[in-house]
Each structure stands twice: as structure tokens, then as C-alpha cells.
Amino acid sequence: MLSANKLIHCLTKNNYCKLTILRTFSAGSIDAMSQPIDYDRFINDLSARRKVSPIRELTKLFTTAPPGTIFLAGGIPNGSTFPFSRMTVELKDGTTFKLEGKKIENALQYQPTPGYPPLVEQLQKFQTQVHGLDSTFWQKNSLLVSTGSQDALCKALEMSLSEGDPILVQEPIYPGTSAIIRPLNANMVPIGQDEHGIVPSALRSALSNYGSSEKVSAMKKDVPKLLYLNSTGANPTGATIPTERKKEIYDIACEFNLVILEDDPYYFLHFEEKDPVSFLSMDRESRVLRFDSFSKILSSGLRVGFVTGPKELVSRIELHTQASTMHTSALSQAIVSSLLDEWGSEKLLQHFKMIQQFYKGKRDCMLASADKHLKGLAEWSVPRAGMFLWIKVPGIADTKKLITEGGIEHGVILVPGKDFLAYDDAQSQYFRASYTVASPEDIDKGFARLANLIKAEIA
């Protein structure tokens, strides 16, 4: 269970660490070693005060009530007053499906907060298959359909963070996430990445600033409890964390009692033979909250994502959802559910393969333009997944200044690296370019202009 690296690290670090390992080894079987997590540690006071809606509870109760029970406890409108009789969806591959009768009624009616029941079931099966989850997984964990994966992420952060809390985040970081964290007055503890994602020794080093793992894992305040990262095709670096490194990171999370927020919207947008191995799939201690999204693979506008993780935590997200959006659009969910049904696993996998090949082509096109125009002026790694090329311009101190002052004039806009940093006062030598939408001509034009912009600055 303890990886070799971790053992060596501990043995060379100090005697205290060695004693800890000896003690845990002698505790007996592997199962005895991992004690059930006290999830209260990850739930702030406000979230803890959220209560179940009595109406929702009664509605759940009704589903198991004896036949003949009359339910006047509902608060929902009468579906016969809704104006729709049918929706039809046609896909590019010729598949067609309809929502009519009971299906359209359900698509228009209020749903349970965790999701449109057929879709929840489909997604549980999907997760089990994709991540190799064992038969006991769903006893300890649950799944909730969210209005885009970011809504679940937002609610998870709002559930857990309190003012002044430190939170470990990959840096550079997706600005959508830092925009959630900052108003909560939580302190981002940035963990640097190399081309394979966050560096485990940097993570361990940052954590040891707070004390020993024993000390940190027992505290609720003033220590980091959450680790936020993208597993695949990170935004903006394009890094995908290799399996071995994921295991190291996971072990550190176990040691320091962290919850890993695995934000993985690009999971299926990789350029490898096999799908990546996720943190969720190795989550023996139930400390991963995984955020999945259909935005990059089916539709961004339908706003359908899902969160998978420990029941104690997903239920807090559920309660917040109950009070706000109530549930993800039932129509969106019904469409996704019908599409998954019509396609089955085979067509779905074919679809993923199509997307992967498509974006790989786009990536290669951008790399070719980068080679052509930016060689000698900039550096970059080849993205193994996702939508982005992370370009370093060693000759420039601050790309934000460069693009703000010269971008419009030279006719090219990219996102400056500064926007992806945890702190305002830092500078960045990087740009993020996206190869997904721009045409090959525009990419080439854009990089030619960028080259001019850089040359003009360095001169």
C-alpha cells in the first residue's frame, strides 16, 4: 500500500517518520490501516447547517409507500398544463430519437436533485465501467448530476472552505476555479507543475510547512485539506498526470488526510491509445471528489456534468443544489439519457475516438505553425490531451503587458499566463493558445503575428 518512493522518503527524512511507518505496518491488514475518514473535517459550518427539505424527503418516502397511498404533499405543477407534446433529436450519424408521452412529461417536470433517475443509473454504470469501480464503491460513494461540472465544483469549494483556509492548487490554475476560491478568502497554496502535472515533491514540501502528516491530518483549521487539480489535459498547461505519479499524489493525500478535487472535463480528449487511469479509480479510502463533464464531448450548452464521491460530501452538494438550481435541466438530462441509450457503449466510444482524432489533428496543425513561426522565440511541450498549448516566451518578463499593449495592434489575442496564476502580483512568461476552434489559416496568421509582436518587444 505504501509506495516504495514514499517509504524511502520517510526513512531518509527522520526517525519520527520511520516510527510512524513501523507502527502502521504492525497495525495488521491493509484494511485496518485505513481508518474511515471523518468527513466533518471537510465540511464548513455553513454547509453543515444545510438541512434536507421536508418536501423532498416526503417525495422520496412516497416512492416506497404502499399502493393506494394518496400524495397531497407535493408542490409540483400539473404536467398537462405544459405546452409540449414532443421533442425530436437528430444526430449527425443519422440516429434519431423522440421524447414523447411519459418521457416528455418527465423532461418538463421537476426531478429529484441528484438527477433524472434513468440518467443517474446510466452514469453510475458508466463510471463503474470507465474507472473499474468495484462492487462496494456505490455503498460509500454517490453521484449527482450538476448544471455543468463547474457548478458541482463551485458547491464543493463553498461546502468546504472557510475564511483563511489554505487550499492546495495546481499552478497555473484554471481561472474559473481561482475565481471561486478568492472571494471565500481562502489562501491558494500553489503547487508547481512540470510537463506531467503537479510535482509530488513540491506537494509534499508545501504540506510539510504545516507540520508532520500526523499533525496535519488531525487538524480542521489552518491546514490544507483540499487538493485541486486537472488530471487530463490540464487547463492551461495541457499536462496529463501519469498513473505512477497519480499514485504518489494519492498516497500523499492519504498521509495528510486530503480530499482530492479531480476536475477532469478533458478526460476523453486525450491523444493516447488508452484512457487515462483516474484518481477515482484508485480511491481506496474514498477521498476523491471527481468532476466529469459532457461539455467538451456532447454539448456545452445543455449544462450537464456530474460529480462522483463520498456520500457525506456529495450529500452536502445535493443540499446546496436543492436550495438553488434544484436540479439540472430535466430536458437536458432526458436528452443526454436518450442519446446514451440510443448509442450504447460502442457508438459512444466511437464518438470519443472521433473527437480524439479531430483534436489531435488540430493540435498537430498548431504545433506545425508553432515550429514554423515561434522556433527560437518560444518553448512548449507537446500536449498529450486537452485543448491548449502552453507557450513560454523566455525573452519576455510579462506576457500580459505584451498582449494588452500590442495584441490588438498586431491583430492577435491569446490568454496571458498571468491570468492563470494564484496571485495578482506575480508575472508570467507564458501564453495559452487554444487549437480547438480557430482555422488552420487563422492559427498560422496568429502565430506569425505573435512572432512579430515578440520580436518587436525583444528588439
The answer to whether residue 353 forms part of the interface with another protein (CB under 8 A) is no
The answer to whether residue 456 forms part of the interface with another protein (CB under 8 A) is no
The answer to whether residue 319 forms part of the interface with another protein (CB under 8 A) is yes
Q: List the interface residues with another protein, window 209-238 (CB under 8 A).
A: 235
- How far, in Å, CA of 260 to CA of 196, rounded? 17
Q: List the interface residues with another protein, window 2-21 (CB under 8 A).
A: none
Q: Contact with another protein (CB under 8 A): which of 332, 337, 399, 429?
A: 332
- What SS3 state is found at 211? coil
Q: How far is the CB of 96 from another protein (least distance, A)?
A: 9
Give strand pairing partners of 10: none
Q: How far is the CB of 111 from another protein (least distance, A)?
A: 6
Q: Contact with another protein (CB under 8 A): which of 65, 397, 456, 458?
A: 65
Dihedral sign, Cα of residue 129, residue 168, residue 198, residue 358: positive
Of 6-14, 121-129, 221-229, 412-420, which segment contacts another protein by CB under 8 A?
412-420
Contact 415, 431 (CB under 8 A): yes
DSSP state of 440: H
- How far, in Å, CA of 2 to CA of 262, rounded? 21
**Cβ-proximal residues to 208 (8 Å cutoff; 6+ apart), any chain:** none
Q: How far is the CB of 431 from another protein (least distance, A)?
A: 8
Q: List the interface residues with another protein, window 361-380 (CB under 8 A).
A: 362
- How far, in Å, CA of 323 to CA of 52, rounded? 9
Taking alpha carbons only, the member of 176, 219, 212 closest to residue 38 is 219
Taking alpha carbons only, the member of 323, 441, 310 closest to residue 55 is 323
Concatenated DSSP letters of 296-335 = TTT-STT--EEEEEEHHHHHHHHHHHHHTT-SS-HHHHHH
User: Given the complex with another protein, which of 200 and 236 has the nearer CB atom?
Assistant: 236
The answer to whether residue 244 forms part of the interface with another protein (CB under 8 A) is no
Q: How crowded is the C-beta side of 111, counted as CA atoms within 13 Å?
A: 28
Q: List the interface residues with another protein, window 249-308 (CB under 8 A).
A: 295-303
DSSP state of 160: H
- How far, in Å, CA of 403 to CA of 243, rounded? 36
Q: Contact with another protein (CB under 8 A): which of 17, 106, 252, 428?
A: 106
The answer to whether residue 107 forms part of the interface with another protein (CB under 8 A) is yes
- How far, in Å, CA of 292 to CA of 290, rounded? 7
The answer to whether residue 423 forms part of the interface with another protein (CB under 8 A) is no
Of 15-23, 30-38, 102-110, 194-202, which segment contacts another protein by CB under 8 A?
102-110
Of 65-73, 128-136, 164-172, 221-229, which segment contacts another protein by CB under 8 A?
65-73
Q: Contact with another protein (CB under 8 A): which of 84, 209, 345, 397?
A: 84
User: Given the complex with another protein, which of 203 and 412 has the nearer CB atom?
Assistant: 412
- How far, in Å, CA of 428 to CA of 420, rounded? 9
Q: Contact with another protein (CB under 8 A): which of 438, 440, 452, 457?
A: 438
Of 69-77, 187-195, 241-249, 276-284, which segment contacts another protein by CB under 8 A?
69-77
- How many residues touch another protein under the rule CB under 8 A: the total is 113
User: Given the complex with another protein, which of 103 and 311 has the nearer CB atom?
Assistant: 103
